[in-house]
Amino acid sequence: MAVVREFTLPDLGEGLTEAVIVQWLVEVGEVVAVDQPVVEVETAKAMVEVPCPYGGVVTARFGAAGTEVPVGAPLVTVAVGAAPEDSAGRGSAPGSANGSASVAAPADPAPGAEGAGTDAAGSGNVLVGYGTSGAAARRRRILPSAAEAPARRSATPAPPATTNGTATNGTATNGTATGDAPGTAAADGPRTVAVISPLVRRIAREHDLDLREVRGSGRDGLILRTDVESAVRALGERQSAAARTAGTADAAGPVPGEERIPLKGLRGAAAEKFSRSRREIPDATCWVDADATDLLATRRAMNVPGAPKVSLLALLARICTAALARYPELNATVDTTAQEIVRLPAVHLGFAAQTDRGLVVPVVRDAQGRTVEQLSAEIARLTDAARAGKLSPAELSRGTFTLNNYGVFGVDGSTPILNHPEAAMLGVGRIAAKPWVHDGELAVREVVQLSFTFDHRVCDGGIAGGFLRYVADCVEQPALLLRSL
């Protein structure tokens, strides 16, 4: 006999709590194998194909493309051990989500059957590289006894019944109501309000308070005067907040043709990180102009025919790692809970990359141990993956320092927002031909503006100025890097 298994959105790692469905990779009634990807989702970090740990026939899908699904919410149900024709009828039942049928949950198996079925049908390998725990144990709902039910109904407002064909918490209901069993307040109509005092009723009436919405704190759910007064205060606060919101909206007034863009997914994660950085980090910025003529000549000399190409960003990354070796105070973060500065042993170098999905910051791991050629190859690989939306969460997190080349946008300078919780960021503007005094004479040279933003909690201006000056010296005289090889 087929057993229906529910597969929920797993923990995707890195503290992610939700994902947006991009596209379904399977249809209802389709046979899937263990660990076959069933849906592609977009998290705040990357696009991920989610494999299902069960093999069998897909009986239902939950959520259409564009739906935001929290971790732990159901994605699909799979009939394990069923032939495709066994579940074909389920796929066309009315009341499904996204054109998929809802499936009634099977009866609890005998003791030991749950674990055996999971081992047989599921791998537990939901996302390779992140790992999953075993299937969550079934939780049984303990219903109140017949003697307790009236008291509970009198103290608690009845839940609204779900209408035919609607969904609750993203789960299709198969066209049935989800209220309590017959005999509850939802089925019997208005319940009896547990109030004895006429004063309590008068206070509620004067404030247009529905006593059915008040939870009594007295014995057997009896509604006391303090309960009503608390409810009146809460009602007043809600009305005041609604009035303030309405007043603000009326003052601004709707603008014809305005467009509202949800702050979700990558855009939402970036907005939250920018806001947190501004709230928590007291940053400061210093800058300097540098003659990059010799750096460009060095790159041309490296890019000989037949050798792997070296990018300018890789040369700047190598300069950053050398500078951080001299000023390790800047490869750090602040633990606000412990009130400590944490200096980090390895340089995980992030670099800003603009993609169709928005700004992302891929991270080059252990950049301090890589050559210029290795840095160039890794930056190119991560850039291609970022543009294709294929970066993993691990490749987008836990950086310790960021290199921001905004010169590609044709601008000279910037005061960027630090990539929380990092303590520093080097910004590089465009390289342009400008008049420059070189060897005591005025000449046309390739000049770049370098800006350095840092967390003032981890260092003072002397450290920051020393770091930026060393970077500028290496840009003007790349041979200085030979000292740190």
DSSP designation for 54: B
Phi, psi at residue 12, to the nearest 5°?
-85, 5
- Using left for φ > 0, alpha for ψ between -120 and 50, and beta otherwise, residue 169 falls in left
Q: DSSP assignment, residue 445?
A: E
> What is the amino acid identity at position 364?
V
438 is catalytic: no
Amino acid letter, 89: G
Is beta strand 47-52 parallel, antiparallel or unpaired with respect to 68-70? Answer: unpaired
Distance CA 77, CA 118 (A): 14
In the beta sheet, which residues pair with residue 284? 454
Catalytic residue among 207, 420, 438, 456: 456
Helix (H) or strand (E) holding 455: strand 441-455
The Cα 427–Cα 412 span in angstroms is: 10
The region, left, alpha or beta by phi > 0 then psi within -120 to 50, assigned to residue 281 is beta
Q: Where are the beta strands (DSSP E) in 62-133?
A: 68-70, 74-80
Question: Would you call 67 exposed, middle or buried from its count of C-beta atoms within 10 A (0-12, 13-18, 19+)?
Answer: middle
311 to 88, 298, 372, 375, 380: CA distances (angstroms): 56, 11, 9, 9, 9
Helix (H, G, I), strand (E, B) or coil at 211: helix
Instruction: State the catalytic residues.
Output: 456
